[in-house]
Structure 1
Amino acid sequence: MNKIILLCILQFSTYTMQSQNEPYHSDVEWVTNPSHNNWLYKVNEQAKITIELYLYGVLQKDIEISYSIGPELMKAEREGKVKLANGKAELTVGTLKKPGFLDCRFKAEINDKTYSHHIKVGFEPEKLKPYTQFPTDFTSFWDKAKAEAALCPIKIEKILAPEYCTDKVDCYLVKIQAYKEGYNVYGYLTLPKKEGKYPVVFSPPGAGIKPMDPLTHTFYAENGVIRFDMEIHGIRPDLDAKTYKEISRSFGGGDNSYLINGIEDKDRYYMKKVYLSCIRAIDYLTTLPQWDGKNLIAQGTSQGGALVLVTTALDNRITACAATHPALCDMAGYLDNRAGGYPHLFTEYKNMDKPEIIKTLQYFDAVNFAKLIKVPVFMTFGYNDNVCPPTTSYITYNVIKSEKKSLITPVTEHWVSDNTRRVILDWIKTQLK
């Protein structure tokens, strides 16, 4: 079954807010509405957008808006200005000759301050295909890697984390020896206090090196689901924020980023041990006496969204997968003159356009793992996301051959609402056996 759900944006009594992305505390509200309610058009069809601007909730008239329009995450192909006559303007933003997304970027000067906004519209994104090639030895490479990692004995250390416990939930800090002896990962395990057998949700982290807060998803255990929020770098997640910031400066970003560490060799690439450690975490979770023995769901966001696609493809114990705007998808897409996936290696890093790097990426790109998934998948993503762009989310969704369903929230940038978090849990519940 292949379903796509478009999240309906609420209509407010004073004005619609389909693409109002400004922070809650901003005095300025942009209202930009595509002429198609689902923000999607046919290739070669002209897209139009109406623009309104509010200051303190008051419609602004005769304000001049600067705009630039181009394929998402690429150089603008058209620039100009438009005036909000009587508080509104309609702009023909153009079209694309092949599937993809146009990004319309706006700026306005009000009281000597510049306010920016953007909105993306899509053109037959269901026809987008990956640039990344699938290596002939992809499966054998990972089968061998998994077999080698399985030789490492799992050692577990588990201590109560009382600061995250409630009257309904117990939380433990867990240390797992994974991948090879001496290499550890950590995670917070939250369980219902009530005795019983429960489904398990495995949740790897988003990108970066930062503290973890299991309280964000305590509602899983409150709803009768065991949850494991995993750390992938072997760094205790209970360190203070200052210490994490110092560690992150060492290998968390830029040319020191773990995401490019060893990238010229698929056997030395940092993410190899990350992917294998996810599987070893599953080894641990399946030993929990509270697990119901039937339901093991992978759920994650951004980098975590990629890691759940990877883990689901590599481990047939996973029974369902929920990925939100996954990173690491069609990363080499920039070489096809369009947006590629996070971490945007070909625009944010130096000297990445090398044959050996492009070859390594083929073994680690989440798109290639998505092709192998055989269990139900639920994906959520938005169109205005510049971190994990909709181009790569659609490409990933398009290659999934198993039962799949998506919740598309066009206005969303790189964030997840509390409501969407609970929609994901609701979908997970529908997959329980």
Structure 2
Amino acid sequence: MAQFDLPLEQLERYSPAVPEPADFDAFWQRTVKDARNSPVILELREAHNGLRLVDCWDVTFAGFGADPIRAWYSRPAGIEAPLPAVVEYVGYGRGRGLPHERLTWPAAGYAHLLMDCRGQGDQYGAGGQTPDPHPSPHGGHWPITRGILEPEDYYYRRLITDAVRAVEAVRSLPGVDPARVVAAGNSQGGGLALAVAGLVPDLSALLCTAPLLCHIQRAIQITDAAPYGEIVNYLAVRRDAEDAVRRTLSYVDAVAFARRAHAPAHFGVGLRDNVCPPSTVFAAYNQYGAAGGNQAGVERTIEVYPFNHHEGGDAVQVRRQLEWLNARTHAARRQAGAARS
């Protein structure tokens, strides 16, 4: 795919007026508050991953509607001290897979919670184990179109709530420093991490590459690639549903969450990405922290890969994330030690 979006010099200034509903904050405050009516950890049991250097537990926590959400909790073996934790969200169509699949963060010395995605896991990887028990009578059968005619029924209302509860779950697990929790993800996972950054005020950092759900109104205008193309296909048949669909999408657009976030943030984008077009990513990046009135004081950086598609920087991006996060984690640890002394 050749570059098809705005040139980089325009992307770096691209800050569109992405609309958000007047009751956006009230909608999400009520949604998250309702989810907190249930204890967060439902089950925790040791999982055998076949590895000597990484311990793992099978976690079930209460997400939206108190629904049981599965996750893998991993940490470096033999370390008892509380560790900073990375909560990772997976891409569209994936599930949590097998407990030995994602080892970067525990190998780097972090506790790691990998959240399953309700009702997904049948397109890539090794599958998922979390059903979505809620019917979606208003919308299509793809995850991104389930319940899309009503914000209350929309699939991503449930999934974003699960993502917030995953942070609350990891903070209650043994061996985690609750003051040092990071949200991380690529693609759909990046969009969920951005939403968490906007909804959890004391998150310590954000790692976000090629995020889905950003500037969705533009995305469905300039790309037919899935999953945005699934919205396009839905509207191609249900031509009278456009207003309702656009209204629902405004409640989950990650640009609105990005405006409200203020944790230090590391982004990544490929300029040839037609799955999550670069202008949609820059729309979130350029407005990150803006709602607080002190955007200049919010730390953010973005890695740009001019010749890459949706894979972005791939392993190079992971290395840069590690370097960036390690520097901040070690600095936080030194500051905490100085405060205690």
Tell me the TM-score normalised to structure 2 length.
0.81
Deviation of 1:406 after TM superposition, in Å, equals 1.0
Q: Which residue of 2 aligns with 1:283?
A: 168
| Equivalent pair of 2:164/2:200 in contact (CA under 8 Å) | yes
C-alpha separation between the residues in 1 aligned to 2:184 and 2:254?
A: 14
Q: CA deviation at 1:173?
A: 1.8
Contact 1:381–1:408 under 8 Å retained in 2: yes
Q: Higher strand proportion, which one?
A: 1
The yes-or-no answer on 1:126 pairing with 2:22 is no
2:182 maps to 1:312:
no
Specify whether residues 394 and 339 from structure 1 end up closer, same or farther in structure 2 by C-alpha distance, changes over 3 A only.
Answer: farther
| Aligned-partner SS, 2:12 | helix
Q: Does 1:405 align with 2:301?
A: yes
Hey, what does 1:198 align to over in structure 2? Answer: 83
How far residue 419 of structure 1 moved from its aligned partner, in angstroms, is 2.7
Shift of the 131–354 alpha-carbon distance from structure 1 to 2, 3 Å rule, reads farther
Give RMSD over aligned pairs.
Answer: 3.0
Equivalent residue number for residue 31 of structure 1: none
Task: String of CA shifts for 1:285-319, please: whole Å, max 9, x gaps.
Answer: 11123112321100100000000000111012311
Mark the CA change 1:180 to 1:279 in structure 2 (over 3 Å): closer, same or farther: same
Q: Deviations over 1:202-226 (max 9, x none)?
A: 0111101446245443131122100
Alignment partner of 1:384 out of 252, 272, 275 = 272
Cα displacement (A) at 1:170: 0.5
Residue 328 of structure 2 aligns with which residue?
Answer: 431
Shift of 1:233: 0.5
Residues 243/331 of structure 1: CA separation in 2 closer, same or farther (3 Å cut): closer
> Is the contact between residue 131 and residue 330 of structure 1 (CA under 8 Å) also seen in structure 2?
no
Compared with structure 1, are the counterparts of its residues 212 and 131 closer, same or farther at alpha carbon in structure 2 (3 Å cutoff)? farther
TM score, norm. by length of structure 1: 0.65
Change (3 A) 1:399 1:315: same
| Corresponding residue to 1:185 among 31, 51, 69 | 69
Is 2:94–2:117's contact at 8 Å kept on the other side of the alignment? no
Pairwise mapping of residues 409-424 of structure 1 onto structure 2 (< 5 A)?
409-415=305-311, 416-424=313-321
Query: Mapping of 1:23-42 within 5 angstroms?
Result: none
**Which 10-residue stretch deviates more, 311-320 or 422-431?**
422-431
Pair 347,316 (structure 1): closer, same or farther in 2 beyond 3 Å = same
Describe how 1:6-45 pairs up with structure 2 within 5 A: none
For the residues of structure 1 that align with 2:127 and 2:207, how far apart are their CA atoms? 32
| Percent identity of equivalent pairs | 25
Structure 1 Cα separation of the partners of residues 59 and 310 of structure 2: 29
Letter in 2 for 1:425: L
Q: One-letter code of the match for 1:133?
A: P
Matches of 2:325 and 2:169, distance apart in 1? 21
Q: How many Å apart are 1:154 and its aligned residue?
A: 2.6
- The gaps in structure 2 that reach 5 residues or longer are 290-297, 333-341
Q: How big is the shift at 1:339? A: 5.2
Partner in structure 2 of residue 104 of structure 1: none
Does the 8 A contact of 2:88 with 2:189 survive in 1? yes
CA distance in 1, matches of 2:288, 2:95: 31
Q: Corresponding residue for 1:231?
A: 116
1:200/1:296 contact within 8 Å kept = yes
Taking a change above 3 Å as real, the CA distance of residues 278 and 265 of structure 1, as seen in their structure-2 partners, is same
Give 1:20-169 correspondences, 5 Å limit: 72=4, 100-101=5-6, 121-130=7-16, 132-163=18-49, 165-169=50-54
**Structure 1 pair 400–261 and aligned structure 2 pair: CA distance change class (3 A):** same
User: 2: CA distance between counterparts of 1:213 and 1:371?
Assistant: 35
Match of 2:61 among 152, 164, 176: 176
Amino acid at match of 2:317: T
AA matched with 2:211: P
C-alpha separation in 2, matches of 1:395 and 1:364: 14
Q: Distance between the aligned counterparts of 2:193 and 2:214, measured in 1?
A: 12
| Structure 1 stretches lacking a partner, 5+ long | 1-20, 22-68, 73-99, 102-120
Where does residue 243 of structure 2 map in the other structure?
355
Quick one: structure 1 residues 338 and 223, their matched pair in 2 at CA, closer, same or farther if it must change by over 3 Å? closer
Aligned to 1:81: none
Look up the SS of the partner of 2:153 in the other structure. Answer: coil
> Rg: which structure is higher?
1
User: Contact 1:200 / 1:226 at 8 angstroms: preserved in 2?
Assistant: yes
The structure 1 residue matched to 2:145, chosen from 250, 253, 260, is: 260
CA 195–236 in structure 1, closer or farther in 2 if over 3 Å, else same: farther
Aligned to 1:61: none
Letter in 1 for 2:282: Y
2:69 partner amino acid: V
The residue type paired with residue 417 of structure 1 is D
Do the aligned partners of 1:330 and 1:340 also contact (CA within 8 Å) in 2?
A: no
Displacement, 1:349? 3.0
